Chains A and B, each alone.
Chain A
């Protein structure tokens, strides 16, 4: 596709519900990132994939958060038993360059705004 696509754009969940957020990266991009952006804050790193391998999940805030990218393309971020503090915008980004560090450009989706009531 032309850019990174995320769905749904908005999600309202009752506390305790499970949610699944989808990310379609730019075709051919090797690296995929998830970020969480609280209101009025900058995005914070959650997890990173290189193809289907999850190489870094150090930013996931609890074991209720789980991400996968089984075929190295589409990724899903799942949050179990949602809590009010999970309310945020969840951003997905992809990049093609598998170099470690140094100037790789990440292309962002428009995000999914999750509201937990």
Chain B
């Protein structure tokens, strides 16, 4: 069964550094998402992306964050000047076209900011 693939599984970065989290969505999916889950908290929406542009973003997704689809298969989340509070699991999701289609999630990247 096709799946969403995320790399790396764990990323350790010094505070203030930039980090890029990578995702390969399911191949025929056109809608892409990033979510995060801080330890002990809910899964929170960050951003949705369709047709090469952001369609919605949460208040968390400020100028520190950006997303890109650099080629036909990858979808990336860049976090600039990381802060301690950026430590979380980051999940990528994708879905196919059509009404009431579920989002399918990758296994996540654990981001640890030191």
Pairing of A with B: no
Q: Which residues of A contact B (CB under 8 A)?
A: none
Q: Which residues of B contact A (CB under 8 A)?
A: none
